[in-house]
Structure 1
Amino acid sequence: MAFITSLVFALALPALPAHAQQHAPTKAKTMKIRLTIGEKVLTATLRDNATTRDFVSLLPLTLTLEDYAATEKISDLPRRLSTKGAPPGTDASAGDITYYAPWGNLALFHRDFGHSSGLVTLGKLDGGVEALREPGPLKARIELVK
């Protein structure tokens, strides 16, 4: 009996990696961008969703980021982005890069903010947000990192 159990186990063992491979989680594609604001260079990791892919199709972009509500820097985009499959809203936190669908603008948060309907998260800054806290309008160059 022990021989048969060992034989069955030995025959089944090679099938396990293929089965495990079928159910292994697939790694999401990550995209990186570089934001150049004056002398400061920031990087960010973007989410893989329809709105983000549409945003990336606009890059490279040079935008003027304006202060808004002492919480974020905003800028109009050349056109509205797709919000297909996007949640109806989200809570924003410092470092979030978002798209505000009702106005069609990019919003980069340097302070936490509560829930906002129509806000779609595109990604998150990899480092600090201090460069976004500079007063007044800021020129920013946004490029996809290859």
Structure 2
Amino acid sequence: MHIRVTLDGRPVDAALNDSPAARDLATLLSLTVGLKDFHGTERIGDPPRKLTTDGAPEPSAPRAGDIAYYTPWGNLALFYQDGPSASSDLLILGHIDAAADQLARAERITIESAS
């Protein structure tokens, strides 16, 4: 599912996958979330509510550019470095086509429906 994403006011190409959690995130759009650094690998921020974890796909290790959802905390994560090994607590929601340094500096993300 194609989405419109801006990082600190700059548009970037992005898409969500077809997982139940990604479709649930799409119901919250248009959404703006403040971001902060976490462990030198990702920027994290809190959506207005927790997303569904029903029907979660098999875990996969996050890669730079991935948009993910960390289920224990209910936060979104934008990886600017490849992440740790696969975990059932981390659901990959989609991917942002942006340079790692742009993702690493991002203070705010806005996600909107492309339709």
Q: TM-score, normalising length from structure 2? A: 0.89
Q: Name the larger-Rg structure.
A: 1
- The ranges of structure 1 where at least 4 consecutive aligned residues each deviate by more than 4 angstroms after the TM superposition are none
Does structure 2 retain, via aligned residues, the 8 Å contact 1:40–1:131?
A: no
What does residue range 97-116 of structure 1 map to in structure 2 within 5 Å? 97-115=67-85, 116=87
Does structure 1 retain, via aligned residues, the 8 Å contact 2:19–2:57?
A: no
Letter in structure 2 aligned against 1:35: V
Q: How far apart in 2 are the matches of 1:40 and 1:73?
A: 16
Q: Aligned-pair distance for 1:88? A: 6.0
Q: How far apart in 1 are the matches of 2:58 and 2:74?
A: 15
Q: TM-score, normalising length from structure 1? A: 0.72
If asked which structure has higher relative contact order (CA below 8 Å, sep 6+), I would say 2
Question: Which consecutive unaligned segments of at least 5 residues does structure 2 have?
Answer: none
Number of the residue aligned with 1:6 = none
Cα deviation per residue 1:64-114 (whole Å; 9 max; x = unaligned)? 011111100000111111111114633111011101111100001000012
Question: Which consecutive unaligned segments of at least 5 residues does structure 1 have?
Answer: 1-30
Number of the residue aligned with 1:145 = 114
Q: CA RMSD in A?
A: 1.6
Q: How far apart in 1 are the matches of 2:4 and 2:45?
A: 16
What does residue range 124-143 of structure 1 map to in structure 2 within 5 Å? 124-134=95-105, 138-143=107-112
% identical aligned pairs: 44
- Mapped pair 1:46 → 2:10: no
Q: How far apart in 2 are the matches of 1:108 and 1:90?
A: 15
